[in-house]
Amino acid sequence: MSSTVTGQPSSSRAHQFYQLTKPRVVSLIVFTAVIGMFLAVPGAVPLVPLLAGTVGIALVAGAAAAVNCLVEQKIDALMVRTSRRPLPRGALSSRETLLFALVTGGIGLGVLHQWVNPLTMWLTFATFVGYAIVYTVILKPMTPQNIVIGGASGAMPPVLGWAAVTGEVTADALTLFLIIFAWTPPHFWALALYRKNEYAKAGVPMLPVTHGDKFTRLHVLLYTVILCACSLLPFVVRMSGAIYLIAAVILGGIFLSYAVRIYRDYSDALARQTFRYSITYLASLFAALLVDHYFRVLV
């Protein structure tokens, strides 16, 4: 097996570059983008925008994640959750990471422009700037509302998917955006609660660090209530039917029960469970939208 100048096997280095893209995060981004594509049309999604849109969005999302790793490498080194990332361990250099991000993001934008449409490319580029620059460089080190404001970029994937197959952004697409936008604060604040000491050590002004646990627990509850209300909008605007409504009520009820318990009887273990459930919640909610969509098409 060939080796690099650092003495690491090439396959190992390839894995390190892959880790820069935060694959678990990107997989959820791509999943919601693809759901947006399917919800945008009554029947089958055209193959070219489906494949090219998925690849392009995934590549740009991975590039944004790599820039985030580059900017936050010193912070990552101070936190247990992120200390094993490639840059804090010295597995990759800053120069390699920047080059990787530029090439990956450039290819992704090129794919979107060439095989999807310019609107999707520009929206995806704006999302990249929103996450990699506005959120990572400006908001995260400056304000405890970083997650709320920066959540706009994280809520864009279904809008990107919608635009990829229709060439436009409609009110229904923005409904999907609103759901993820409302989901982001309780999702990340649950994590921040049980990682508070690490964020404090790293000097990141997350809400539990700046305003304390009780204030954060209350806001987890309040934003979960907002999320549950937002999750009903697809049914209210007749974008979905009874199947989705039932799923949204059940999934939201479980999320709300976690949020109430966090507020009333907090523990780090409960916060971990809430954080993990929040990921399941979002994936299941969008899957229910898809099932409902095609059930209504078939009947």
Last residue of a domain, one of 122, 148, 169: 169
Please state the separation of Cα 180 from the chain's center in Å. 8
Q: Are residues 163 and 180 in the same domain?
A: no
Q: Are residues 31 and 80 in the same domain?
A: yes
CATH of the domain at 104: 1.10.357.140
Question: Got the DSSP string for 138-175?
Answer: IITTT-TTHHHHHHHHHT-HHHHHHHHHHSS--HHHHH
pLDDT at 209: 95
pLDDT at 297: 80
pLDDT at 2: 36
Tens of pLDDT, residues 208-238: 999 999 999 999 999 999 999 999 999 999 9
pLDDT at 11: 53
C-alpha pair distances (Å), 13 with each of 10, 70, 231, 285: 5, 16, 41, 36
Q: Are residues 183 and 298 in the same domain?
A: yes
Residue 130 has pLDDT above 90, yes or no: yes
Among 7-16, 81-90, 283-292, the range of highest mean pLDDT = 283-292
Q: Are residues 36 and 161 in the same domain?
A: yes
Residues 6+ away with beta carbon under 8 Å from 195: 79, 81
CATH of the domain at 296: 1.20.120
Residue 181 contacts residue 188 (beta carbons within 8 Å): no
270: amino acid identity, one letter: L
Q: Are residues 148 and 176 in the same domain?
A: no
Q: How deeply is 10 buried, as exposed, middle or buried, from its count of CB atoms within 10 A (0-12, 13-18, 19+)?
A: exposed
Question: Got the DSSP string for 72-84?
Answer: THHHHHH-TTTTT
Q: How many domains does the chain have?
A: 2
Output the six-digit token pair for 237: 């605007």
Can you say whether the dihedral through the CA atoms of 142, 148, 154, 156 is positive or negative?
negative
Average pLDDT over the chain, rounded to an integer: 93
pLDDT at 4: 41
Last residue of a domain, one of 169, 189, 206: 169
C-alpha to C-alpha distance for 114 and 260, rounded to whole angstroms: 48
Where in the sequence is the domain holding 229, given as residue range(s)?
Answer: 171-299
- Output the pTM of the full model: 0.93
